[in-house]
Amino acid sequence: MSETKKTTAEELNDVQAIKQAKDFWGRYSKPITYIGGLVILLAGGYLIYNNFFKAPNEKKSIEAMSRAEAYYAMDSLDLALNGDGSSAGFLKVMKTYSGTTAANLAHYYAGSIYLRKGDFKNAIKYLEDFSTDATQIQSAAWRMLGDAYMSTDKKEKGAEMYEKAGKLNAKDEYTSSENLFRAAMAYEVNGKKEKATEMLKLLKEKYPKTSTGALADKYLARLGVVNID
C-alpha cells in the first residue's frame, strides 16, 4: 500500500512543529538539563543520606540511649535524664541524634520524668514534641499531657488530652476507659457539663464492664442525667 501523500499545508505544519520544537529546546535545554541533573542529584543525595548517614545514626542513637533506658527502669531519673558522665542521658540523645527514632522516644521518656518530678512546664514541652504511630504509647503520652496540663492553669487543655487518649485506641479497654473517665472528671472541673456527660455516656456505651464504666451511671446522676438507657 502506498503512503498517502501529504498536502502542502500538512507539510508546512510539520515543518512549523519541528521548528517550534527546535526553538523550545534551544531556549530551554539548559534549564531542563539543570533540573534533570538536580533531580538525579537529590535522588542520589537521599540514597546517600539514608545509607551512609541516617541508618548509622539510628544505630548509634539506639546504642547511646540504652544506658539511659536502664537508669529509667531502675528509677534513677536524674541519671536517665542527664547521663552519668560516661553515657548519655535522654536530653543529650535528643540533641546529638535529632531526627532519629531514639531521639523522638527520648522526648517521651524525658516528659514522663519531668511529670514525676512535678516540673509540668518541661513535661509539656517534651511530651508535645513526641509522636508515634504506636497507639498505646501515643495514648499514654496524651494521658501524661492531660495530667501535666491539669496541674497548670490550662485545665481545659488537660481535659482535651484525656479525651484524645481515650478515643485513640478503642481496643484497649482498660486504658481507654480510664482516660475517658479522667476526661469526664476534667471537663466537670472546667464547668463543661455537656462534655462531661458526653464522655460518661461514651464510657458507659463502650466499656460497661470496666471498673470506671460501672461508675458511669453514678457520675451521670451527679450531673443530673438519669434514665439514659
pLDDT tens for 96-144 read: 999 899 999 999 999 999 999 999 999 999 999 999 999 999 999 999 9
pLDDT at 226: 72
Domain presence at residue 197: yes
Q: 186 lies in which domain range?
A: 132-229
Q: Please report where in the chains the cell 535545554 appears, as a residue.
A: 29
Cell of 130: 513526641
Domain presence at residue 21: no
Averaged over 26-30, what is the pLDDT? 49
Domain presence at residue 11: no
Number of structural domains, the chain?
Answer: 2
Same domain assignment for residues 156 and 221: yes
pLDDT at 229: 55
Domain presence at residue 147: yes
Number of helices and strands (H, E) in the chain?
11, 0
Residue 12 has pLDDT above 90, yes or no: no
* 84 DSSP assignment: -
Same domain assignment for residues 145 and 56: no
* 213 DSSP assignment: G
Residue 176 has pLDDT above 80, yes or no: yes
Same domain assignment for residues 198 and 228: yes
pLDDT, tens only, 151-173: 999 999 999 999 999 999 889 99
Q: For residue 135, give Cα distances in angstroms to 104, 139, 159, 168, 206.
A: 15, 6, 19, 7, 18
pLDDT, tens only, 56-103: 678 888 888 899 999 999 999 999 999 999 999 999 999 999 989 999
Higher pLDDT, 134 or 32: 134
CA distance 64 to 16: 66
The answer to whether 217 and 204 are in contact (CB under 8 A) is yes
CA distance 161 to 141: 9
Same domain assignment for residues 71 and 119: yes
Last residue of a domain, one of 86, 104, 130: 130
Same domain assignment for residues 104 and 136: no
Global pTM value = 0.75
Reference 62, options 98, 93, 84; nearest CA is: 93
pLDDT at 211: 94
Same domain assignment for residues 124 and 141: no
Last residue of a domain, one of 130, 146, 168: 130
